[in-house]
Structure 1
Amino acid sequence: MGLVSVFAADKPQAHDMGKMWQASLARPALSVGSSFDPRGRLWLAKVESGYLFVSHSEDKGKTFGPAVKVNSVPEKIAADGENRPKIMVTPEGRVYVAYTSSLEIPFSGHIRFSRSTDGGTTFSEPLTVNDNREVISHRFEAMAVDSRGQVTLAWLDKRDQSAAQRHGQAYAGAAVYYAVSTDGGASFGANRKLADNSCECCRVAMAMDQGDVPVVFWRHVYGKNVRDHALVRLDGKSQPVRVSYDQWEVDACPHHGPAISIADDGAYHLVWFDNGPKLHGLFYASSADQGKTFSAPKAFGNFEAQAGHPHVLSFGKAVHVVWKEFDGQNLVIRGMSSADGGKSWSLPRQIATTAGASDHPLLVADGTQPYLSWNTAKEGFRLIGVAP
């Protein structure tokens, strides 16, 4: 049971890619989105039978209220592996959700968004955020909301590759695009290209910096096919900077995106997976100067146990990291914590396990404590405290 998937870079193969795509869309939707609101209520975005349902819990996930349907017409909503629905709640009680709606052609999709202005009682009809409507890949969205309720979405987009192919030109990977809503999610502005030549199927990560500046972190294609990582602040003047130099050269998409959390003191905390010739496995690094420089990468996890899909959460001075491993029989979520902003770390510890299929781990916090949010086929949704 492997955790590290490497797929040909969205290229049709000799076998029937269409059948494989349809089979992937038919798999149970295990990947859920969750977040706490300022009142400490846990919100859950879950896909069932082509619909996105939103519910909330007053008792830390033990029980949930009635689930509200977001989309009135069923869609093939991505909720597997690297792509999960996203949900965030503002202090005013607005509920924002974003997701990828998969289309019929393999690896194609549209970025969708909906909001509730009545505390999750009803939701607006979802709108399509990508203004390029080709049946190509617009997928793997990330969402951030600033203190004014302004919404930023970033995603992987293949419109430039499509244009290059029409002109007989080569184009490596996809591109990172983003769009901003300045009216609380009622509409989005024009799509803007952030960078050419991103990896095709590794999730995009985003967090809000001090000063309400979104920061985007993704796997990028350097040179011919080196799949390292890049980061940029969406402040209108910063350029993407290279974060990792692991030199993983592969003509394929690892399906293994990074994660970022930004602390109250402005420090960036970053985690990722790479499989380079010398540096391979999971890595953590931080930046104290808004991404101008980064600490030396710290390796963690057991590479031989297929350690992968890390997530990170800063919580005051504390930093928490979780990831998946496989012990030969079960999928295991392990974690480690730092009490001093990432300078030193606890020993890895087991947090949860399952014998079946599962979501990738997600960290959330309620203002007083961090939690692992994890959905599994056997045990269902679980919320587990991760503080050591």
Structure 2
Amino acid sequence: MKKILFLLLFAACIGPAQAATSPAHDMTQMWQAMLAKPAMAVGAAFDEDGRLWRAQVRDGHLWVSNSDDAGANYGEPVRVNAEPEAIAADGENRPKLVAKGGALYVSWTRSLDKPMTGDIRFSRSLDGGRSFSVPVTVNDNREIISHRFDAMAVNAKGQVYIAWLDKRDLSEARKSGKEYAGAALYYAVSDDGGKRFRRNVKVANHTCECCRTAMALDTDGVPVVAWRHVYDGNIRDHAIVKLDGKATMARLGQENWNVAACPHHGPSISIAKDGAYHAAWFSNAPEKRGLFYAYSTDQGKTFSTPLNFGKPAVQAAHPAVFSLGERVHLAWKEFDGEHTRIVAMSSGDGGKNWSAPASLASTADASDSPLLIERKGRVYLSWNTKNEGHRVIEANQ
């Protein structure tokens, strides 16, 4: 079942030229079936007081609830969007949630009726989660095209940054009969805590169109974004850039994976107070296959030699990284044909040496990708599964 789903998602992201040579599929029917699936992906975050906040999708609504005992019990959930909409909450998409300074910020991708299309949505709560603002659409291009796979961060100044993958440039290229590989990376920033957003800004052309983006705040409060990029020759390795208007895009991985479709497998990035960048990603290049981790101590100008981790034989996938400085955590999924496990390991010296991998949790049915979150200097795994529900498990070893 996992392989079938992967192939469907893989085929769904193939461009028109490749799709013409693929077996015929009713893309609209497949898209509607995907939208009708139960929402597995959950957003979660701890606030400064250690209270856990959770964002889940149910019946076309985003619901936010909180727990004072790290997920053992939750209060009554609060509905974010009054009007129902198709909210992407599976695979590479999850609702994003930030809890900071007594406010809550949520972003998500609203799926539209046309296959593989969507809009980026945002709402906030300024009263401790008791109510939420009317959701707004962040992308200022309103074509029925793909604006999807959002990432969000909120800095200490109250600036809200949201980045996503956007196909407006592909749409323009097609109108003039030109070729355009993949999508583009765009972002928008709000300087007033999410009340208003500035115009959309393009960061890079030719991103892989169905792999999640990742975002983390640098020590100066400006975010860094990582994504899978389409390099010359259809090489789909990862890139990274700081959204300060000065930094140039840097290549994160050098696996040289040549693939004529989107792998649906984006990166993860984390930056702690020491300023070191930590990144994890997946590649299936013939010579460099599996999961990879690297760190940078010069703000992404150079990275350490990537560490290849996880076991390809058990489909190691969807890594998450979280840094607290010298203490760095990795978690990922493995599937042995019957059970999916979340496996984790940690480093106590900034990513130079690592503990032996250890299993944190397992399930025998559908599950979300791992999410690592922090509570007062301790790292936790947030993981939602069909059989066991949402679990929050301490990841410290």
Q: TM-score range by the shorter chain?
A: over 0.9
Q: CA deviation at 1:316?
A: 3.4
Question: Hey, what's the Cα distance between the residues in 1 that align with 2:98 and 2:89?
Answer: 17
Query: Alpha-carbon deviations, 1:329-371, whole Å to 9, x = none?
Result: 1001101100111010001111100000000000001113110
Question: Hey, what's the Cα distance between the residues in 1 that align with 2:49 and 2:150?
Answer: 26
Question: Is 1:98 the counterpart of 2:107 in the alignment?
Answer: yes
Question: Hey, what's the Cα distance between the residues in 1 that align with 2:350 and 2:303?
Answer: 14
Which residue is 1:163 aligned to? 172
Q: In structure 2, the residue corresponding to 1:227 is in which secondary structure?
A: coil
Which residue is 2:38 aligned to? 28
Question: Is 1:11 the counterpart of 2:15 in the alignment?
Answer: yes
Question: Within 5 Å, which residues of 2 pair with 1:217-228?
Answer: 217-228=226-237
Contact 1:307-1:324 at 8 Å conserved across structures: yes
Q: CA deviation at 1:11?
A: 3.3
Alignment-mate amino acid for residue 200 of structure 1: E
Question: Hey, what's the Cα distance between the residues in 1 that align with 2:156 and 2:205?
Answer: 29
Query: Alpha-carbon deviations, 1:121-168, whole Å to 9, x = none?
Result: 000000000000000000000001111110000000000000000100
Question: Hey, what's the Cα distance between the residues in 1 that align with 2:373 and 2:208?
Answer: 26
Question: Is 1:128 the counterpart of 2:137 in the alignment?
Answer: yes
Which residue is 2:76 aligned to? 66
Question: Hey, what's the Cα distance between the residues in 2 that align with 1:49 and 1:367?
Answer: 33
Contact 2:14-2:260 at 8 Å conserved across structures: no
Which protein, 1 or 2, shows the higher relative CO under an 8 Å CA cutoff with sep ≥ 6? 1
Q: CA deviation at 1:10?
A: 4.3
Which residue is 1:311 aligned to? 320
Which residue is 2:66 aligned to? 56
Q: In structure 2, the residue corresponding to 1:224 is in which secondary structure?
A: helix
Alignment-mate amino acid for residue 19 of structure 1: Q
Contact 1:8-1:251 at 8 Å conserved across structures: no
Question: Hey, what's the Cα distance between the residues in 2 that align with 1:20 and 1:279?
Answer: 32
Question: Hey, what's the Cα distance between the residues in 2 that align with 1:335 and 1:305?
Answer: 14
Question: Is 1:146 the counterpart of 2:150 in the alignment?
Answer: no
Alignment-mate amino acid for residue 67 of structure 1: P
Q: CA deviation at 1:9?
A: 3.2
Contact 1:4-1:308 at 8 Å conserved across structures: no
Please list every run of 5 or more consecutive structure 1 residues that lacks an aligned counterpart in the other structure.
Answer: none
Q: CA deviation at 1:315?
A: 1.8
Question: Within 5 Å, which residues of 2 pair with 1:292-371?
Answer: 292-371=301-380
Which residue is 2:264 aligned to? 255
Q: How many residues align?
A: 387
Out of 13-22 and 3-12, give the one that drifted further: 3-12
* TM-score using structure 1 length: 0.98
Q: In structure 2, the residue corresponding to 1:310 is in which secondary structure?
A: strand
Q: CA deviation at 1:261?
A: 0.4
Which residue is 1:233 aligned to? 242
Question: Hey, what's the Cα distance between the residues in 1 that align with 2:192 and 2:201?
Answer: 18
Q: Percent identity?
A: 58
Which residue is 1:46 aligned to? 56
Question: Hey, what's the Cα distance between the residues in 2 that align with 1:9 and 1:149?
Answer: 35
Pick one of 200, 209, 215 that aligns with 1:206. Answer: 215
Computed over aligned residues only, the root mean square deviation of the Cα atoms, in angstroms, reads 1.0
Q: CA deviation at 1:15?
A: 1.4
Which residue is 2:252 aligned to? 243
Question: Hey, what's the Cα distance between the residues in 1 that align with 2:202 and 2:251?
Answer: 17
Contact 1:4-1:306 at 8 Å conserved across structures: no
Q: In structure 2, the residue corresponding to 1:342 is in which secondary structure?
A: coil
Question: Hey, what's the Cα distance between the residues in 1 that align with 2:243 and 2:228?
Answer: 17
Alignment-mate amino acid for residue 37 of structure 1: D
Question: Hey, what's the Cα distance between the residues in 2 that align with 1:283 and 1:8?
Answer: 25
Q: CA deviation at 1:104?
A: 0.3
Q: In structure 2, the residue corresponding to 1:43 is in which secondary structure?
A: strand
Question: Hey, what's the Cα distance between the residues in 1 that align with 2:80 and 2:48?
Answer: 22
Contact 2:116-2:145 at 8 Å conserved across structures: yes
Question: Hey, what's the Cα distance between the residues in 1 that align with 2:312 and 2:391?
Answer: 26
Question: Hey, what's the Cα distance between the residues in 1 that align with 2:227 and 2:14?
Answer: 17
Question: Hey, what's the Cα distance between the residues in 2 that align with 1:197 and 1:109?
Answer: 18
Question: Hey, what's the Cα distance between the residues in 2 that align with 1:252 and 1:82?
Answer: 15
Alignment-mate amino acid for residue 309 of structure 2: F
* TM-score using structure 2 length: 0.96
Q: Which is richer in helix?
A: 2
Contact 1:152-1:179 at 8 Å conserved across structures: yes
Q: CA deviation at 1:379?
A: 0.2
